[in-house]
Structure 1
Amino acid sequence: MPLTNAEKQRRYREKRDSDPNRRAEFLARCKSKYQSDIGVGKRKRIIEMTPREQRKQRKEWRKIKSKQRKRKKSNHTILTPPSSPQPALEQIPPEHHSTRRKKRLMAKCYRDNDQLRLEIAKQKRLAHRLQMRLLRLKRKSSLNTPTGQDTPRSKARKLLRHWSTEKGEGSRAKRRLMKNQAKKALQFQYTLNAELMNKYRSKNKGKQALSQIIRGKLMRKYKIITEAVNEFRFTAGRQRQKKGSLSKRLTDRVCSFYERDDISRITPGIKDTVTKNGIKKQRRVMTESIEIIHERFILENTDIKISYPTFCRMRPFWVQPPKDSDRETCACKYHENMQFLVNSLHGLNCLPSKRLQEIVKMFACDINKMDCMYGRCMECKDVILQSETDSTINTEWFQWKTKKETRLINNQEKEVTLTVKEKVTDSIDCLIDTFSSEMQRFKVHTFNITNQFNHYRKMKENLKENEVLIHIDFAENFLCKLSTEIQSMHFGASKQQITLHTGVYYTKGRTQTFCGVSDCLDHNPSAIWAFLDPILDRIINENKNVDTLHFFSDGPCSQYRQKGNFFLLSKEMSKRGLQATWNFHESGHGKGVPDGVGGTLKRTANDLVLRGKDITSAKSFVESIQEQESLVMLYEVVKEHIAEKTHLLASQNLKAVPGTFKLHQIRTSICGEIWYRDVSCTCVESCSEYGHNWKKAVLIVNSKHVQEKDREDSNLRGLIPEESGSKKSEEDKEAKTKYKKSCDHQEPDGYVPKDSDSSTREAFFLKTLNNLASCTTFTDVHKMCTKIQNEIERQQFNIDYNYFPSILNTGISVDEDSLQIFPRDISQKELLELTPVRIGADGNCLPYTGSVFAFGDQKRAEEIRVRMIIEQTIFKDCYLDQDYLKRGTDNSYTNNALSKTYAMYSDEYIPNERLSLRKVEMVYQKEVMKITKNRSYMGIWQLFSLSSILCRPLFSVYPMLGNPNVRNDLHRLILPRQNIGLETAYVMWTSTRTDMNEKNWVPNHFVAALKDIEMEEKDTIENFDPNDVTPHYLVDRYVLVEYDNKPYPGKVIDCDEAEVYVTCMHRLGKTLRTSTFYWPLAVRDKCWYGMDKIIGVIPEPRLVGQKYFVDNQLWESALRKLNI
């Protein structure tokens, strides 16, 4: 009979284990496999397992060990022979008992039993006597059985005692009698139940009596209340509320407190709803913990005493604590930055709490007084904070900051503004100084938030018959959808958007929500008033007595808080014969009812799409939702109506209102004139309290001013380039932030050398670069470069070697990221004069840099790249020569193989490859072939060629980051083949990445380091001409301004077409000859200045202790210019 596989394997193992050498080899292979499995992760050690895997593995080990012990025990029992002879069993002698003692014990047991029997009989007699006494009492009493002696249970037992319907048990007549009795009892029961149910449904007055029957004494005794409720289908009773119940009296008051916008914010999301008992509500998220909200309620309502548990129970179900999904994406920058500072100071034990409200109370006498919060109170205007630790120790904290970045969009460089969360590392002294200055602003910010919310609430509660409150806001645009979409439409850009302008208006006895819908995507003042016209017409038609309107909104400068909206407000109110006020919520705190209206409408629209409805335009959006009988008033606004408003606004020459960013309330009734103030209040017009006094502003510029403005605009038209393809209206272009963005690409005439036919020149080099990219060998590139060089000389495409760019004559903005890592080991003069500027980061960064040095802009990158290729191809031997490459280095630099070193830095070098001279030449040729492709990255060899193209020395600036050996090779001066230019060009290695630390830092970008013309001469102030620069150039620069015929230093933080917004320092001392200043801590001195008030541009004042010093020579020049 053949062997089975199991038998074969068993014999194989026995044969293998019988040989010690084969057994050892087998064990070694198992051990090796075990180690390899662990190395590749196929098996895990016990310490590498999760707790659950460890428990499972140890359980298996215990089972295996238990089986092993049992197996060993059984083998030992089988293999061990029994002991011989076997031991005999031990004989235990019986105990000897006394017969007399046994009889005595038995007699005692008998006596005890007799005694117990007597006791039992006694207790039985007592129980029987008590039972009979109870029975007699029950028979005499009629409380439990008013209709007779039998209880319901006794009747049921009698009925069922002899119940039997089977044959053979009793006579037929007896069975029929029992059946009829049971039938009659059940019929009576069901009839009574039906009658009770009918009475309960028909009569409201008798419901309470019927409910009392259900919960009567007998029903509870026999435990059939639940059966009765199920049978009759009405409740067994209702819970009574106490007449003096606190929750009953305060429910509405507490609910309205929870729904206040400063207590909870409404969620604008489409799916942010809560449903309970069939009631659907838009979710509101509490802004603070419920403990703090309870404290605020107690402080504001001193006449009420309510406990914390009761306050929690009375919270509406739609007001909820925030969840992870409620992450705030519209957080206030002031609050977030201040919270970062407070957290860091609390960790250093400098502050006792992390709560901002408690911190503000520490530095203000009364948080409800404007003088205290605005820094005008003499007792609390200074923010003084002491540190118990060494103030020179570095610490870290986070801050939200705004940065600018240049990006290539449609082959055009455009500057975009990015907001990033950045870690700041500095001393504790710097942290405290930052906290002190920011706390002054935060106190103003906090007061404005509370004041605006309180004014909004009071105005809504105290509306008169002739007043209307209108709260408006733009919702997020709705993306049109179809019930069925093909793939190319769903993932493409084919979907249309529509604008939703939502709001709510309150009258004396009515509240109405509304929403204007339009296919036009403008959110400017023209669109705002096109949306408001139908609402104003409806309000006037429904309320004949209305003569005053109160508007409330948030305050974005591109929408509501700008001169265009102010003018249209004054014009519309004047045309309709109304008075109006417009109030602005504090920045970052404008959420309210309009956000909930937008979320509700978009959720409804999405539900309609899911049910097969197509929404492709504003008209279909309005019609679809109106069919659902929505309570929101919907109307469509056509593009023509918005265009009319735009034409009306464009025909006016308007003047900006000073302090637009600070005002929170305006009023108007005359076209072109408004009155404004810093905060909203209901005080009289003659109120003299700080911040409450009205200031007048005339929006329409007079004819003389119009002519001057036109002349200035004509001068600026050549300096400020217009962005092609912009969909924004003229009003949006007037926003100050719009012009700040355009300053990066200004090219003022008179500074940059121009060629006779720039378009032909650019086309020539672009075509030439494409031809070079088509070459396949270095020899082909060399032949073509010779021909191209001859053609360049024939066409006389020359470069002005004496031209040197600066920040002033190019208008390129400063690269803040590169400025932070600019090395400090160059000369002090160069450190003060040089500033890295923004260069496009798309692979053409070095050609862009060369174009800036050669032509003053970044438009000739293709020409610079072609010239580099020609230079490196024709003069290849120079760039591989040790003596040539070492020119410009110090004598201490001992690298005798620079060509090999630079070859290792090339992307064409293969790591760990041994470099011979031939290999170096091959790497060089491959790199030249690579840069023939446009937007390909360059390196150190290209810096040498750029120096020869510009015919001037070039300093390769490498930051003090990363590998120090790399910096030792790349941070150096490069001399050209032929030196014609006198000035040195500075090119900096930098990086666009933000995820690298100092040790592992590597560059991936080049930028130019330019000088300021003002700093090259001592008489800068006297030679400064405002007509030579634009307001946009002055943004983020320090200037001297003239105020009351006196010079003041300050920093330009904003600008418009012809004015700059400057925050100024204050002078220390009374004499004008002293150039010592300080920054005011309470309220910064900010104001708009015309360009004629700018004395000149200065470097940042030098900080010594707590004082700032302006350069004495510049200060004397400013005094001479003002004839002081």
Structure 2
Amino acid sequence: MPLSNAERQRRYREKQKAKKPVAYLKKEAQRKRDAYIPSHLLTPDALKKRREELCKKSKRHYKKVKRVQNETIEVAGPSTSSTLIVKLPITNVKKGKQVRKTYRRSLRTAYKKNSELSDKNIELERKNKRLQKRIERLNKKKPSMMLTSTDAEDADISSMDSEAGISVNEMTPRSKTRTEVNSLKLDRKRAAQVRKKLLLSNTVLHSIQSSVKQKKKKGIKSIWSGLISKYRCSSALSRSLGINRKKVSALSKARKGKPMSEQVKHKVIEFLEREDNSTTLPGKKDTKTTNKETKQKHVLSDYVMNLYEKFKLENPTIHISRTVFYKLRPPHIILADFANRKTCLCSKHQNLALKIKGLKNGGLRCSKNPDILIKVFPTNKEILEQINMLESTAIKFTQWKRVPDGTKMRFKEIEETLPKADFCIKFDKDLAEFRDHVDRVHTQYSELKRLRENLPENEVLIWMDFAENFGCVSVEEVQSAYWNAAMVSLHTMVVYYPASKDNRIQSYVAASDVLSHNAVAVYTILNQMIGILVEENPNLKRIHYLSDSPTSQYRNKTIFQFIAMHEEEFGMPARWNYLESGHGKGPCDGLGASIKRAADNAVKQGKTSIQSADDFMEWARRARESGSKVKYIFYNQEDYDISEKFLSERITPIAVKGTFKIHYVIGNGINEVYSRVTSCYCNKCIVDISTSACEGYTLNRLVKDTATSGVVEVIEPLESSEEGETVEGRNVEEEEEELNKHTIELDKLSKDTWVAAMYERKWYIGQVVDIDENDKEVQVKFMTETGRYGESFKWPKEDDIIWIKLDNILCIILSPPNPSGKRIKTYTISVNELKKIEDLAKTPN
């Protein structure tokens, strides 16, 4: 019989093994290594087979080792008459590994057994609960029949239910299904099919019964009006549920009201986002994301109930309930909460709200909203009578006040207690001022709303504001870069065009590395902005400006002179509108926050690195290319210096009396401006105020210094009358004498004005930084003396800025100190100025 291939190969291997055993074994080992496949590359079946073979091989190896350990070795001694036999056990060098493997095997066995016992325990607990539930049902039906869990386990379930007399309706869906299937006596296969359908039906019915017991009429009506009615199963369902079919059919169907139109929804949201109804939060983190859409947060300036009444008055044709109006408020518009929220920026509102809170704590029943209070009590006499009727003799309240904190003055909430009589006098005065304040707020917003809606052709409205400086950051930066990061100044502007334009609104942002927020920066920005607007529309006739009321930026004599010379320099007249102090938030704040947030996100995502204003503009250029609708303007230090030089040479205005009360300025030639306490854009004033019959306009004539004349004519504000306007002139000496009185009027001061002031019985010179018209205080940046006799001064290494009372200002320095020196600049003042300051310092108050 011929040999097979396998047999021939086997004999050949045995022959090679006997002929060259070492070489054969080495070659065989190499072959196995080459043919070895790593475990992670094997299929699950092949891996399982390999592990089984390894397990068998290990068992054979352990048996062999154990067998060898039991064998003995006979050792022959010296040639004597007797033979010595010694039994020596052969030790296993791998005994330690064997012990560890045995331990692991035992541990696996214990874990496996523990898992099995846990599953068994869970099953027994489930069975125990099931039996306890059956006993509970039996006890409900027959209290006298008390079964233990052992008795229930031995008893038959079906017989237990039937013996107990439990009705079919009281069974669980599973028990009911089992009873019904058993009664049909079907075969095993058919019973399984019927059981599934019956179980589904009984479960649904049981759920409906539970809903009916809870009196959910809406659920009952929805069930009855669907497929049950279509397939005429109402009677069968009513019998199953135990509900009167006529009673259910008598229930009226749920009424569906008319859906709210998108136009009305949009009108309500637009109303709530309007500047007079809500305030835009300026922070870049003050956002709300809804449906993957991020919007800037708004805080309502009044309660929704009052805004609802205001909406109905403005839109009498729209019929909407208060509940629907409440529901249409979007998530990014936050409710107002006076005297309790950190977003209230108006000191008059907040301080009055805190006084009202003190009155409520004293027992007065009134609204905590100051706006509602003045509506409920039209006159101060009514509220004062209520206060006098209180039992308490003193009123305890808190107020926001500027108090000294080290070397600086800070706003803090101070607790005060006043006798009732003194409190009434103070409250009467504050309430009268608050009524005027609220009237100005409402008037400004209503007039500006009228201007935007009726903006004439070839005219534009520019709403502007300085945003918080953008801090340049990097994704990865060293410690020194973090503490010395550059800043970028941002000035946001929203331009409104007439209604005939396709795009009525356009946003602009002016970026710069010049961090000064003053009138010079405003002029530099507007100089470029006007050029852009004229390029877009060469027929531009008038520009309306709108801003908040900081004296260091917009409401000062420099801006008044800018408005006066606007037509001569740019070829068109201009008007400037100021919002009431504390109520200047608007779309510019949201624009600044969104721009800074977008730049931050671009840096965090690694798309760009912003280290300076130039880098910011480069990012802005790419953002414009990517589809951003915001336009950007850039100005540098050179542009700022040119504007500063121009203004210092050409504009030398005189401070206007009553500057803090002015909210409307209109240019009238090079040297004159009309001012008004509030804006007016009636049908005549919007065209030309000379043809208007509206009262309240004041003429302020400004004359700048010239090289050929030593006389400056200043026109004091005089109310216009029907007979005409009269003016009164004074020379330089008279004006200088008024400015240098020991008691300086607040209206005479503005930012960057040089003054001499007393502090701790010693006089210093410095520049005005800020003015607080409410507390009549001035923030001054002081210099230090360098000369022996106080003739020269320098700026200290660390800014020495403090708040002082207006009475502590000695005089206004008309001739600014002259700088000198290269490395360290020193400033000197004239001998006459020095003598005048020393004389005033010696004069008692």
> Normalising TM by the smaller chain, what interval?
0.5 to 0.7
Of 605, 608, 614, 1:619 maps to 614
**What pairs up with 1:703-714 in 2 under 5 angstroms?**
703-705=709-711
Secondary structure in structure 2 of the residue aligned to 1:468? strand
Contact 2:388 2:420 in 1 (8 A): no
> Percent identical across equivalent pairs?
29
Corresponding residue for residue 311 of structure 1: 325
Corresponding residue for residue 916 of structure 1: none
1:487 matched to 2:487? The reply is no
Relative distance call for 1:734 and 1:658 in structure 2 (3 A) is: closer
Paired with 1:261 and 1:446, the residues of 2 have a C-alpha distance of 14
**What pairs up with 1:846-995 in 2 under 5 angstroms?**
none
Corresponding residue for residue 642 of structure 1: 640
Of 454, 468, 488, 1:498 maps to 488
Residue 627 of structure 1: how far off its partner (Å): 0.9
Q: Which amino acid aligns with 1:602?
A: K
Residue 434 of structure 1: how far off its partner (Å): 0.5
Q: Which amino acid aligns with 2:702?
A: V
Corresponding residue for residue 1113 of structure 1: none
Corresponding residue for residue 656 of structure 2: 657
1:393 matched to 2:407? The reply is no
Contact 1:525 1:568 in 2 (8 A): no
Of 498, 513, 530, 2:524 maps to 530
Corresponding residue for residue 556 of structure 1: 550
Contact 2:756 2:765 in 1 (8 A): no
Contact 1:574 1:669 in 2 (8 A): no
Residue 706 of structure 1: how far off its partner (Å): 5.2
Aligned residues: 514
Residue 667 of structure 1: how far off its partner (Å): 0.8
1:568 matched to 2:566? The reply is no
**What pairs up with 1:682-831 in 2 under 5 angstroms?**
682-683=681-682, 684=685, 685=689, 692-701=696-705, 703-705=709-711, 735-736=749-750, 743-745=757-759
Contact 1:656 1:699 in 2 (8 A): no
Secondary structure in structure 2 of the residue aligned to 1:398? strand
Secondary structure in structure 1 of the residue aligned to 2:511? strand
Residue 541 of structure 1: how far off its partner (Å): 1.7
CA deviation vs aligned residue, 1:833-858 (integer Å, no higher than 9, x gap): xxxxxxxxxxxxxxxxxxxxxx99xx
Residue 474 of structure 1: how far off its partner (Å): 0.1
CA deviation vs aligned residue, 1:37-65 (integer Å, no higher than 9, x gap): xxxxxxxxxxxxxxxxxxxxxxxxxxxxx
CA deviation vs aligned residue, 1:335-383 (integer Å, no higher than 9, x gap): 1111122222333345633221232225547xxxxxxxxxxxxxx8998
1:441 matched to 2:433? The reply is yes
Q: Which amino acid aligns with 1:468?
A: V
Paired with 1:488 and 1:381, the residues of 2 have a C-alpha distance of 62
Secondary structure in structure 1 of the residue aligned to 2:395? strand
Residue 278 of structure 1: how far off its partner (Å): 4.1
Secondary structure in structure 2 of the residue aligned to 1:352? coil
Of 457, 461, 484, 1:465 maps to 457
Of 526, 544, 547, 2:541 maps to 547
Residue 573 of structure 1: how far off its partner (Å): 3.4
TM-score, length of structure 2 as denominator length: 0.53
Paired with 1:385 and 1:812, the residues of 2 have a C-alpha distance of 50
**What pairs up with 1:236-255 in 2 under 5 angstroms?**
245-255=259-269
Paired with 1:669 and 1:290, the residues of 2 have a C-alpha distance of 43
Secondary structure in structure 2 of the residue aligned to 1:334? helix
Corresponding residue for residue 508 of structure 2: 514
Residue 275 of structure 1: how far off its partner (Å): 3.3
Relative distance call for 1:385 and 1:1098 in structure 2 (3 A) is: farther
Corresponding residue for residue 607 of structure 1: 601
Paired with 2:427 and 2:738, the residues of 1 have a C-alpha distance of 44
Residue 305 of structure 1: how far off its partner (Å): 2.7
Contact 1:400 1:419 in 2 (8 A): yes
Paired with 2:639 and 2:613, the residues of 1 have a C-alpha distance of 14
Paired with 2:530 and 2:754, the residues of 1 have a C-alpha distance of 36
Relative distance call for 1:690 and 1:404 in structure 2 (3 A) is: farther
Paired with 2:611 and 2:733, the residues of 1 have a C-alpha distance of 43
Corresponding residue for residue 285 of structure 2: 271
Paired with 1:602 and 1:486, the residues of 2 have a C-alpha distance of 22
Contact 2:471 2:485 in 1 (8 A): yes
Relative distance call for 1:598 and 1:655 in structure 2 (3 A) is: same
Q: Which amino acid aligns with 1:283?
A: K
Contact 1:385 1:432 in 2 (8 A): no
Contact 1:687 1:693 in 2 (8 A): no
Residue 273 of structure 1: how far off its partner (Å): 2.8
Q: Which amino acid aligns with 2:307?
A: I
**What pairs up with 1:100-139 in 2 under 5 angstroms?**
none
Contact 2:543 2:574 in 1 (8 A): yes
Contact 2:402 2:410 in 1 (8 A): yes
Residue 276 of structure 1: how far off its partner (Å): 3.2
Residue 535 of structure 1: how far off its partner (Å): 2.0
Paired with 1:585 and 1:579, the residues of 2 have a C-alpha distance of 20
Relative distance call for 1:395 and 1:331 in structure 2 (3 A) is: same
CA deviation vs aligned residue, 1:115-174 (integer Å, no higher than 9, x gap): xxxxxxxxxxxxxxxxxxxxxxxxxxxxxxxxxxxxxxxxxxxxxx9xxxxxxxxxxxxx
Contact 1:664 1:679 in 2 (8 A): yes
Corresponding residue for residue 95 of structure 2: none
Q: Which amino acid aligns with 2:710?
A: K
Paired with 2:514 and 2:765, the residues of 1 have a C-alpha distance of 35
Relative distance call for 1:251 and 1:715 in structure 2 (3 A) is: closer
Paired with 2:749 and 2:512, the residues of 1 have a C-alpha distance of 23
Paired with 1:656 and 1:595, the residues of 2 have a C-alpha distance of 29
Paired with 1:715 and 1:681, the residues of 2 have a C-alpha distance of 33
Residue 418 of structure 1: how far off its partner (Å): 2.1
Paired with 2:366 and 2:336, the residues of 1 have a C-alpha distance of 26
Corresponding residue for residue 806 of structure 2: 1035
1:428 matched to 2:199? The reply is no
Paired with 1:338 and 1:267, the residues of 2 have a C-alpha distance of 22
Note the residue ranges of structure 1 that are not aligned, 5 or more in a row.
Answer: 1-160, 162-215, 222-240, 366-379, 408-415, 721-731, 747-806, 814-854, 860-1031, 1038-1051, 1060-1090, 1100-1124
Q: Which amino acid aligns with 1:524?
A: N
Paired with 2:764 and 2:619, the residues of 1 have a C-alpha distance of 52
Residue 657 of structure 1: how far off its partner (Å): 1.0
Residue 695 of structure 1: how far off its partner (Å): 2.4
Secondary structure in structure 1 of the residue aligned to 2:661? coil
Q: Which amino acid aligns with 1:696?
A: N
Secondary structure in structure 1 of the residue aligned to 2:510? strand
Paired with 2:804 and 2:490, the residues of 1 have a C-alpha distance of 37
Note the residue ranges of structure 2 that are not aligned, 5 or more in a row.
Answer: 1-189, 191-225, 232-254, 714-730, 767-788, 794-802, 816-836
Q: Which amino acid aligns with 2:287?
A: T
Paired with 2:737 and 2:485, the residues of 1 have a C-alpha distance of 40
Paired with 1:273 and 1:253, the residues of 2 have a C-alpha distance of 22
Residue 405 of structure 1: how far off its partner (Å): 5.8
CA deviation vs aligned residue, 1:791-845 (integer Å, no higher than 9, x gap): xxxxxxxxxxxxxxxx5x86899xxxxxxxxxxxxxxxxxxxxxxxxxxxxxxxx
Q: Which amino acid aligns with 2:531?
A: D
Corresponding residue for residue 670 of structure 1: 669
Residue 635 of structure 1: how far off its partner (Å): 2.1
Secondary structure in structure 2 of the residue aligned to 1:704? coil
Relative distance call for 1:1098 and 1:434 in structure 2 (3 A) is: farther
Of 278, 281, 292, 2:306 maps to 292
Q: What is the alpha-carbon root mean square deviation over aligned residues?
A: 4.8
Relative distance call for 1:537 and 1:420 in structure 2 (3 A) is: same
Residue 387 of structure 1: how far off its partner (Å): 3.8
TM-score, length of structure 1 as denominator length: 0.41
Paired with 2:382 and 2:705, the residues of 1 have a C-alpha distance of 41
Secondary structure in structure 1 of the residue aligned to 2:576? strand
